[in-house]
Amino acid sequence: MASSLDFVQFVVDQFDADCDLTFRKMFGEYGVYSRGTLVALVCDDRLFIKPTDAGRAFIGDPVEAPAYPGAKPSFLIEDRIEDGPWLSELVRITRAALPPPKPKKGRKGRK
């Protein structure tokens, strides 16, 4: 089951403005970016945060599950999906622990 745009917008609306969240449809689901860094996925109307040691320390005992079949486990956020300040801090911590996005290379035209 693909995620609904309404659910994705609901999730993004929970975060503080300084998280600067955007989302993009990816393979029928959604990638969530904070300042250009992929920090989360929304799959089957569930929020998955990219796992980091810093995020694990913040959460304490995270529930981990793959966002889709064959994926590595991510932090599944269910009970605190409406806790905007907590989610915002988790995304700030996650973004800080992840490498910055690689610069995009220009496309070369075909000859």
What span, in angstroms and rounded, lies between the C-alpha atoms of 106 and 4?
32
Among residues 45, 102, 50, which one has the least CA distance to residue 71? 50
Mean pLDDT of 31-47: 96
Instruction: Name the one residue in this structure whose structure tokens are 């109307």.
Output: 45
- Read off the pLDDT band of 1 (50, 70, 90): low
Count Cβ atoms below 10 Å from residue 92 Cβ, excluding itself.
19
Q: What is the pLDDT of residue 27?
A: 84
- At residue 108 the predicted structure's pLDDT band, cuts being 50, 70 and 90, is low
The residue ranges of every structural domain in the chain are: 5-97
The reported pLDDT for the residue numbered 17 is: 94
Contact in structure between 63 and 76 (CB atoms under 8 Å): yes
pLDDT above 60: residue 111: no
Digit-coded pLDDT (tens) for 47-105? 999 999 999 999 999 999 999 999 999 999 999 999 999 999 999 999 999 998 888 77
Q: What is the CATH number of domain 5-97?
A: 3.30.1460
Q: 90 is written with which tokens?
A: 């988790």
**Can you read off the two tokens belonging to residue 75?**
């932090």
Q: What is d(CA 74, CA 77) in angstroms, rounded to the nearest whole number?
A: 9
* Beta-sheet pairing, 64-66 with 21-26: unpaired
Position 103 scores a pLDDT of 81
Are 43 and 67 a contacting pair, CB within 8 Å?
Answer: yes
- The model carries a pTM of 0.89
Q: What distance in Å separates the CA atoms of residue 73 and residue 81, rounded to the nearest whole number? A: 18
